[in-house]
Structure 1
Amino acid sequence: MIEALVGILIFAFGVMGLIGLQASMTKAQTGAKFRADAANLSNELIGVMWSDAAGNLGKYASASCDTHAPCKDWAGKLDQRLPAATSVVVVDAPSGAVSITIEWTQPGEGKHRYQTSAMVQL
């Protein structure tokens, strides 16, 4: 009888370990998805800037993003895909230098940040 109880105890610890491993894997997968979404969204914005660069590059800066429709649409996507997301877009229109910083807060964790820069030639 004691041998059976010890066997059940060992089995229970194994099952609890598998449950903990599954929870850890799910958390890591969610974090990876958010990082990939941030990278894709920043690349998407740079692509939109390239296609709309003629005279409109300065409108993609964070201060004037709400007044330019393509930038406003991108900001809406950012809010949908990343939890508690904020972005800072710095544009130097004369040189074409663009810097995009995206921050989000993953539930149960702290803030995360993705930053990229590019040159959008006019």
Structure 2
Amino acid sequence: MNKKPHISRKPAARRQRGVALVEALVGILIFAFGIIGLVGLQVAMTRAQGSAKYRADAAYLSSQVLGNMWADRANLASYNTGAACDAHAPCSDFVQKVESGLPAGAVEISATAATGVVSMTLTWSTSAEGTHSHVVSSSIN
């Protein structure tokens, strides 16, 4: 009698049990890291977009007041920040636009009527990125 030995396959099946669950968990983990990366990228893009908007607003406001200075050369000295600017409506309006349009916005203008040299610094500050400034120098003749 020649009997074949019986080979049991149950131990091999037991070793394979749960592999699909581990593969699914690894897949979910990889997917979660991808989503976290996308959310981080979105936050960085939003921050950069806000920063670019404030820089563009500062450039626009400074160009606007320089245009007013060119049109009103006779009153160039009235654009100096301080009492002269407070009394001159176009300058005080510009200061208000900077203060309301930029977060913690401030402006400093130095205009010399004799030479026509104008220096302007617009500053703003955000909690996420700190203080920024936009400096403009021009000669109005």
Answer whether TM exceeds 0.5 for this pair. Answer: yes
Partner SS for 2:120: strand
Q: Which has the higher contact order (CA 8 A, sep 6+)?
A: 1
The structure 1 residue matched to 2:29, chosen from 9, 12, 29, is 9
Unaligned runs of 5+ in 1: none
| Structure 2 equivalent of residue 46 of structure 1 | 66
State the 1:96 CA deviation. 0.4
Percent identity, aligned pairs only, is 49
Take 1:2 and 1:80, find their aligned partners in 2: how far apart are those partners?
Answer: 56
Aligned residues: 120
CA distance in 1, matches of 2:98, 2:55: 12
What is the distance in 2 between the residues matched to 1:11 and 1:32?
A: 32
Structure 1 partner of 2:77 = 58
Q: Residue deviations 1:59-98, cap 9 Å, x none?
A: 0001221111011111111112100011110111100000
Counterpart for residue 102 of structure 1 = 122
Who wins on radius of gyration, i.e. which is larger? 2
Scaled by the length of structure 2, what TM-score is found? 0.83
Say which of 70, 84, 87 aligns to 1:67. 87
Aligned counterparts, 1:103-122, within 5 A: 103-121=123-141
Residue 107 of structure 1: how far off its partner (Å): 2.6
Please tell me the residue identity of whatever aligns with 2:28.
I
TM-score, with length taken from structure 1: 0.95
Structure 1 outlier segments of 4+, above 6 Å: none
Please tell me the root mean square deviation across aligned C-alpha atoms, in Å: 0.8
Matched letter for residue 24 of structure 1: A
After superposition, the C-alpha distances for 1:38-72 in whole angstroms (9 at most, x for unaligned) are: 11111111001111112x11000012211110111
**CA distance in structure 1 between the partners assigned to 2:31 and 2:114 by the alignment:** 67
